[in-house]
Amino acid sequence: MDLSRFGAMEGDRDMLLHMPAGLLGFPDIQHYLIVDADREVPLKWLQAHDEPRLAFVITDPFAFLPDYQIELTPLDLMDVGADATTDLFLVAIVTLPRDATAYPTVNLQGPLLVNRTNGWAKQLVLVQGPYHTHHSLTFVPRLAS
| Distance of alpha carbon 76 from the chain centroid | 16
Give the pLDDT band of residue 31 (cuts 50, 70, 90): very high
At 139, which amino acid appears? Answer: F
CATH code of the region 4-136: 2.30.290.10
Domain range summary for the chain, segments of one domain joined by +: 4-136
User: Average of pLDDT values for 95-120?
Assistant: 88
Give the pLDDT band of residue 54 (cuts 50, 70, 90): very high
| The pLDDT of residue 135 | 76
Question: Is 1's pLDDT higher than 70?
Answer: no
How many Cβ atoms from other residues are within 10 Å of residue 86's Cβ? 8
Asked if residues 90 and 112 have their Cβ atoms less than 8 Å apart, the reply is yes
Question: Is 101's pLDDT higher than 50?
Answer: yes
Identify which has the larger pLDDT, 6 or 104: 104
Residue 84 CB contacts under 8 Å (≥ 6 apart), including other chains:
77
User: Average of pLDDT values for 97-113?
Assistant: 85
Per-residue pLDDT tens digits for 6-26: 443 343 457 899 999 999 999
Per-residue pLDDT tens digits for 57-72: 999 998 888 888 888 9
**CA 62/CA 20 separation, integer angstroms:** 25
Please tell me the pTM assigned to this model. 0.82
